[in-house]
Amino acid sequence: MKITPLVKLCILAAVGCGLYALWHKGVPRHHEEPEAPGETEVAVHARIASPVAAIVSDVNCFEGQQVEKGQTLFTLNNSRKPDGSIEPALLKITAPLSGTVVYVNVKPGEVTDPETLTPLVEVVDLNRLIIAANVPSSQMPAMKLGQTVEIFPQQGEVHDTFATTETAAPNPAPVALTGTVTLIEDRVDPKTNMGPVDISVPAEARLRPGQFVRVRIITEERRDCLTVPSRSIVKNQTGEWVIYLVSGKQAAIQQPVKVGFREGDMVQVQSLILQPGDKVVTTGAYGLPEKTRIRILNE
């Protein structure tokens, strides 16, 4: 296995992440500072219902459509007055904000009920979503506002009913998006031992409210470090960490190393001998003599 000079990231895993459509422009609750004049909370999720009982005349929107503020979504006709009489005037229901129509539950000819809790249309500004993440309490002290976050949308397998086994192609691996930590709660849920954290979502993310994602919060970055697979590092008889450097094609020589941060299966190492591109033993390193003959399996 070759040693590579990878960027070493100390990454904090956040779990149970969902998106919601409310963007806080005010100051985060963690590390509070004086609020800048004129900054307010901006709602970006509209649940639109009928203001009166009436017959739906036309529906002028569909799911996935981009609409502007004030654009007509649907129209009502023959609405009932409080005294029970019929008002034939046309009533236009418009979008209260610019965004994307994510839900439509109305058809021409239906009679609306202003008392129902189910919205007829929902409009969301998808450029202002944030992620509500949960972080283990033991890792909360490492959290800081503005930290970079890698966002991975969770994708299930999608099968084409008409595709054959030979032509069906697997879904490509999701591409990481980049966000930042915007809010850190000063509390921990006693049931889960998790602390809430809000993460910004880039405008081009094309995510949806309620969608689950996986995130990695970068708490520290170390550049130009040597990293090796964790299975290549073992302890010798004296208890120090060592790695077996491949010399030539048939020999492995034990070299002491200092172990640093870990990220997944990779470990940062420090050594005066090891160089980028060197090969090390990754299988069967435990218990080898200081110098031993080996056989390289992948060549």
Tokens of 23: 């963007």
The answer on pLDDT for 299 being more than 60 is no
Tokens of 110: 């239906």
Output phi, psi for 231, to 5 deg. -70, -10
Instruction: Examine the domain organization and report whether 158 and 266 are in the same domain.
Output: no
The answer on pLDDT for 24 being more than 50 is no
**Is residue 1 situated within a structural domain?**
no
Predicted pLDDT of residue 249: 64
pLDDT digits (tens, 9 = 90+) for 87-145: 766 789 999 999 899 999 999 999 988 888 899 999 988 888 888 899 999 989 989 99
Cα Rg, the chain, nearest whole Å: 29
**Is residue 3 situated within a structural domain?**
no
CA distance 120 to 104: 6
Contact 131, 188 (CB under 8 A): no
Tokens of 220: 């520290």
Give which of 53, 188, 88 is closest to 134, Cα–Cα: 188
Instruction: Examine the domain organization and report whether 111 and 194 are in the same domain.
Output: no
Model pTM score: 0.56
Give which of 55, 39, 45 is closest to 106, Cα–Cα: 55
Domain count along the chain? 3
More confident residue, 258 or 175: 258
CA distance 228 to 233: 8
Residue span of the structural domain in which 287 resides = 226-293
- In which residue are the tokens 């956040």 written? 14
pLDDT digits (tens, 9 = 90+) for 43-93: 678 999 988 888 899 999 999 899 999 999 999 987 776 666 667 667 899
CATH code, domain carrying 65? 2.40.50.100
